[in-house]
Amino acid sequence: MKVGFVGLGIMGKPMAKNLLKDGHELRVFDIVPESVKEVVAAGAAAAQSAADAAAGQEVTITMLPDGPDVEAAVLGPKGVLEGAAAGSAIVDMSSISPLVAQKVGKACAAKGVHFMDAPVSGGEPKAIDGTLAIMAGGTKEVFDRAAPLFHSMGSSAILTGPVGAGNVTKLANQIMVACNIAAMGEALVLATKAGLDPEVVFDAVKGGLAGSTVLNAKAPMVIARNFKPGFRIRLHQKDLRNALLAAESMKVSLPLTSMVQQMLMSLMNNGRGDYDHSGIVTMIEDMAQVEVRKPKG
């Protein structure tokens, strides 16, 4: 397929490369020239603007940090919607507020352009492997059109409802992941403070009911003191903020989400916003004055 791609960050760059590997023709744009050069070296064509990336394409994908970035890149001057032709589709794979997704969707519809929100889960490792979980919101027509692209970037893609539903599903995902990491952090801090080897504790519990994909991915990172970001704390804080704003609009109480969001905010204020979100454990460590790591000797 002929595809425009806007946003070549930590997630967008490997996603674009996987589309190229499957033979799709890409025209790419990012405000960071080095990122564009890297994807062009892999076989893409360079665009001069988001509008230029979308011009003449069947589908244009956007992968950006937050709602305001999506609004600017799609609806702003030289934005995707300016270049997109009627009948083409814009698929926003960013994690943003469902309300922003619906706003962008309405603007696209007014120009005869199809829109779908399709955020992803899996972080940088799964973006590189092409095994992301994709949660889509929109019509079945657009979902079917984008399906070959989803297949190149992910191991699963599910249509969850109309525009905005993809991001509601992603927010639900982010709540579960954040609370899981926080609970894991408390558990491993307790075990370490009690004199146990956290790796042994991890091995003992991972096969039981406490086992999870989150535990398997994040516990080894914490024990190895590896907080290189697969998904940054500041981005997870943004997702939980969006979840709380959506919940407030629907009068839904999210007490655990609120607590973990405040923990993430504190970590950002302490200079840890670019840690991997497994770094939530460091706040719990600070309070207990212990580091989760293998005992010496």
pLDDT band at 295, cuts 50/70/90?
A: confident
Any domain includes 297: no
pLDDT tens per residue across span 83-131? 999 999 999 999 999 999 999 999 999 999 999 999 999 888 899 999 9
pLDDT given for residue 297 in this prediction: 65
CA distance 277 to 96: 18
Task: Looking at the structure, tell me whether residues 134 and 267 fall in a common domain.
Answer: no
What CATH code is carried by the domain that includes residue 39?
A: 3.40.50.720
pLDDT given for residue 67 in this prediction: 94
Structure tokens at 136: 């889509």
Is the confidence at residue 2, as pLDDT, over 70?
yes
Length of the chain counted residue by residue: 297
By residue range, what is the domain housing residue 203? 168-288
Residue whose C-alpha is closest to residue 216's, from 228, 230, 202? 202
Residue whose C-alpha is closest to residue 181's, from 214, 212, 213, 205? 214
pLDDT given for residue 80 in this prediction: 98
Are the C-beta atoms of 62 and 6 separated by less than 8 Å? yes
pLDDT given for residue 264 in this prediction: 98
3-class secondary structure, 276: strand
pLDDT given for residue 230 in this prediction: 82
| Burial class (CB within 10 angstroms; exposed 0-12, middle 13-18, buried 19+) of 72 | middle
99 vs 297, higher pLDDT: 99
Task: Looking at the structure, tell me whether residues 253 and 197 fall in a common domain.
Answer: yes
Any domain includes 193: yes
pLDDT band at 4, cuts 50/70/90?
A: very high
Q: What are phi and psi of 291, to 5 degrees?
A: -105, 135
Task: Looking at the structure, tell me whether residues 148 and 188 fall in a common domain.
Answer: no
pLDDT tens per residue across span 124-169? 889 999 999 999 999 999 999 999 999 999 999 999 999 999 999 9
pLDDT tens per residue across span 11-60? 999 999 999 999 999 999 999 999 999 999 999 999 999 999 999 999 99
**Mean pLDDT of the region 77-82:** 98
Any domain includes 41: yes
Q: Does the annotation mark 228 as catalytic?
A: no
pTM above 0.75, yes or no: yes
Any domain includes 296: no
Domain boundary among 162, 191, 218: 162
How many structural domains are present in the chain?
A: 2
pLDDT tens per residue across span 170-191? 999 999 999 999 999 999 999 9
Q: Which of 13, 103, 126, 170 is catalytic?
A: 170
Domain boundary among 162, 181, 211: 162
Task: Looking at the structure, tell me whether residues 156 and 177 fall in a common domain.
Answer: no
**Mean pLDDT of the region 267-293:** 97
pLDDT given for residue 179 in this prediction: 98
Domain boundary among 162, 189, 209: 162
CA distance 185 to 292: 9
